């Protein structure tokens, strides 16, 4: 069965860095695009980043662009989120999620992105 | 600030029906496929509807999705206490080149 297990969360001071990991199993990791989605305490879902199956294409939310980097190691079935210059507003539970497709799928000008499996999340708290 | 607007809450008695609207624009819902997610308290979100109106295996036909123009709707019939959760719509926004979620709707079973 598909499993996604996030790790690496914790308490970090503003301005510091943190790296999250997502270990995937139960499917051919290298065939699927992957995402990070976050949820601040008591708030709604916010998409963070997308990476294609081979890491060649990456997309970011404006709120994290230039500070966060999504990457993957297909040999280790692992997804990463490198977070730099962390701010208090980055405090959230971070989920990794599998995309149904190998990359951003836009057929006939219509894009189709959805998350068919999610991890349990890891909490990142940015505080001094 | 989300670009997709949902009502903050909806409620109904057990066995009744609720609908949740998701309003967007031509660059997101108008041109792209919509999906819906349910998040039970303290758990990760789960896919309910994809491709505007398709259900993954294991999701009962009490859940339905539709799309018209720049709006989408999730319907839940035969409401059960276990349906109390937060529900989110989502789609790709071709102008932002980013995925966007709705503001979320809390369903309460009276």
pLDDT by residue (tens digit) across B24-69? 999 999 999 999 999 999 999 999 999 999 999 999 999 999 999 9
> For chain B, how big is the Rg over CA atoms in Å?
13
pLDDT score recorded for residue B1? 66
pLDDT score recorded for residue B2? 80
DSSP B81: G
Q: Which of A48, A49, A115 to mutate against chain B (most B CBs within 10 Å)?
A: A115
Q: What is the largest CA-CA distance in chain A?
A: 49
DSSP B83: G
* Phi, psi at A88, each rounded to 5°: -55, -35
pLDDT score recorded for residue A107? 84
Cβ within 8 Å, pair B45-A118: yes
pLDDT score recorded for residue B29? 97
pLDDT score recorded for residue A4? 98
How close is the nearest chain A Cα to the Cα of B71, in Å?
A: 15
Cβ within 8 Å, pair B44-A110: no
The H helix count followed by the E strand count for chain A is 0, 13
pLDDT score recorded for residue A109? 81
Token digits for A91?
A: 């405090």
pLDDT score recorded for residue A78? 98
Overall size of chain B counted in residues? 110
- Residue A35 contacts B where some CB pair is shorter than 8 Å: yes
Q: Name the residue in chain A with its Cα closest to that of B94.
A: A111
Mean per-residue pLDDT over chain B, rounded: 96
Low-confidence ranges of chain A (pLDDT < 70): none
pLDDT score recorded for residue B101? 98
Cβ within 8 Å, pair A118-B104: no
Question: Which residues of chain A lie closer than 8 angstroms to B36, CB-CB?
Answer: none
Q: Which of B42, B99, B104, B105 to mutate against chain A (most A CBs within 10 Å)?
A: B99
Question: Which residues of chain A lie closer than 8 angstroms to B89, CB-CB?
Answer: none
Residue B106 β-bridge partners: B9, B86
Contact criterion met (CB below 8 Å) for A41 and A124 = no
């Amino acid at each position: 069965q598909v499993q996604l297990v996030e790790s690496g969360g914790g308490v970090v001071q503003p301005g510091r860095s943190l790296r999250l990991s997502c270990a995937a199993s139960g499917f051919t990791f290298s065939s699927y695009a992957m995402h990070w989605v976050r949820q601040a305490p008591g708030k709604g879902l916010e998409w963070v980043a997308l990476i294609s199956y081979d890491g060649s294409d990456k997309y970011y939310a404006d709120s994290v662009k230039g500070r966060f980097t999504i990457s993957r190691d297909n040999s280790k079935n692992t997804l990463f989120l490198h977070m730099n210059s962390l701010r208090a507003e980055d405090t959230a539970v971070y989920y990794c999620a599998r995309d149904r497709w190998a990359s951003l799928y836009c057929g006939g000008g219509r894009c189709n992105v959805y998350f068919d499996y999610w991890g349990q999340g890891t909490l990142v708290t940015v505080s001094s | 600030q989300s670009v997709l607007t949902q009502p903050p809450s909806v409620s109904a008695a057990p066995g009744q029906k609720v609908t949740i609207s998701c309003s967007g624009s031509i660059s997101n819902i108008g041109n792209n496929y919509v999906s819906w997610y349910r998040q039970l308290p303290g758990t990760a979100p789960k896919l309910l509807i994809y491709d505007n109106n398709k259900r993954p295996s294991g999701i009962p036909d009490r859940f339905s999705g539709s799309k018209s123009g720049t709006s989408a709707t999730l319907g839940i019939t035969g409401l059960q206490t276990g349906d109390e959760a937060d529900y989110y719509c989502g789609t790709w926004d071709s102008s932002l080149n980013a995925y966007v979620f709705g503001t979320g709707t809390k369903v309460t079973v009276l």
